[in-house]
Amino acid sequence: MNAFIYQSNPSRVVFGAGALQHLAREIEALGARRALILSTPEQAASARHVAELLGDRAVGIFAKAVMHVPIESAREARDEAKRLGADCAVAIGGGSTTGLGKAIALESGLPILAIPTTYAGSEMTSIYGITEAGLKKTGRDARVLPRTVIYDPELTLTLPLGMTVTSGLNAIAHAAEGLYAHDGNPIMSMMAEEGIRATAAAMPRLAIDTKDVAARADMLYGAWLCGTVLGAVSMGLHHKLCHTLGGSFNLPHAEVHTVILPHALAYNAAHAPEAMQRVARGLGSASAAAGVFDLAHRHHAPTALKDIGMPADGLDHAADIAVQNQYPNPRPLERAAIRELLQRAFDGTRPD
């Protein structure tokens, strides 16, 4: 075994169907008395339910979270937290809502209690992102790592099948890149393979019945593991490409991950054979790249950039940005090969 460094992110996880009932206990354990509850406008009813559960420990609801945390919305939420004298933020929702909580914590140091309702995994990372003047800046800061995470599969029953599949593939992407990370370690690799297995195995069950609580629990468990990997080791070409495409062409986050992953894995395959074996084993497929593509295709998720709003004349620019800064990736970043990768992703060509 090679030498490695392992550092865990300190957070408390409360997992299980009905786990939301422990919210008041968990807020008390944080020593908080004045929680500000965050959600998107679409999930305002969930935020109100959380406020009811907290009674007088809830001081307000800010139901204006939007994708990619625009600086204006971060400022408004920070002002609201100050105005109300909040001593904690409760984020119920997907990565966008958790991201808003992180923007508040980055400035104020307020503890976050996250209640994830998608499989994006942001709740397990100290990575934040804030968008200003069309540019999304990301960074890592220990203050933004949620202190407590309540995973309650019952809260994911309303996630439509399409988003369930793409969000699950977003989770699988974290684990897949974690398996070939230059700063990876055997513990994270173990979590990554198990995360892929649990997520991929739950998908066909949810395709039959999106309200299957046991399958939802398995998927959320997989997403937790995959998110932990994202938080602990460095990501490579796949995440860089998705960040570029999402930011520069305003493409939907989980769908971009779904479309790019098979092609990023094919690009790296010959340079990371052991990682590919583990991805394939997790998927229960013969090949990592084709296995991910088939998983998406089988569940009617998008498999082509052209179908999710990518303009054909943007591919050259995307390839340029992807190679602007060198970063660790199993296969060196080659402009021509990345341009080809993007073309295949644009067309939706199945990798071998």
Task: Name the site residues for ligand NAD (rule: CB under 6 A).
Answer: 40, 42-43, 67-68, 93-97, 99, 117-118, 120-122, 125, 127-129, 155-156, 158-159, 167, 230, 253-254
Q: Which residues pair with 62 in a beta bridge?
A: 38
Task: Report in angstroms how near the CB of residue 41 gets to ligand NAD at its nearest.
Answer: 8
Q: Which residues pair with 12 in a beta bridge?
A: 148
Query: For residues 252 and 314, which CB has a smaller minimum distance to ligand NAD in the complex?
Result: 252
User: Could you give the CA distance from residue 305 to residue 30 in angstroms, rounded to a whole number?
Assistant: 43
Task: Report in angstroms how near the CB of residue 112 gets to ligand NAD at its nearest.
Answer: 12
- Are 102 and 121 a contacting pair, CB within 8 Å? no
Query: For residues 14 and 290, which CB has a smaller minimum distance to ligand NAD in the complex?
Result: 14
Task: Report in angstroms how near the CB of residue 120 gets to ligand NAD at its nearest.
Answer: 3
Q: What are phi and psi of 70, to 5 degrees?
A: -60, 145
User: Could you give the CA distance from residue 276 to residue 278 in angstroms, rounded to a whole number?
Assistant: 5
Q: Amino acid identity of 258?
A: T
Q: Amino acid identity of 285?
A: S
In whole angstroms, how far apart are CA 136 and each of 39, 105, 121, 180, 236? 20, 18, 18, 25, 18
User: Could you give the CA distance from residue 215 to residue 212 in angstroms, rounded to a whole number?
Assistant: 5
- Are 245 and 228 a contacting pair, CB within 8 Å? no
Task: Report in angstroms how near the CB of residue 194 gets to ligand NAD at its nearest.
Answer: 19
Query: For residues 219 and 338, which CB has a smaller minimum distance to ligand NAD in the complex?
Result: 219
Query: For residues 34 and 102, which CB has a smaller minimum distance to ligand NAD in the complex?
Result: 102
Query: For residues 93 and 348, which CB has a smaller minimum distance to ligand NAD in the complex?
Result: 93
Indicate the residue whose CB is closest to ligand NAD.
Answer: 95
What's the burial of 322, exposed, middle or buried (CB within 10 Å: 0-12/13-18/19+)?
A: buried
Task: Report in angstroms how near the CB of residue 247 gets to ligand NAD at its nearest.
Answer: 9
Task: Report in angstroms how near the CB of residue 181 gets to ligand NAD at its nearest.
Answer: 15
Query: For residues 9 and 343, which CB has a smaller minimum distance to ligand NAD in the complex?
Result: 9
Q: What are phi and psi of 7, to 5 degrees?
A: -130, 125
**32: which 2 tokens?**
């908080």
Task: Report in angstroms how near the CB of residue 124 gets to ligand NAD at its nearest.
Answer: 8
* Strand 112-116 with 88-93, pairing: parallel
Query: For residues 34 and 218, which CB has a smaller minimum distance to ligand NAD in the complex?
Result: 218
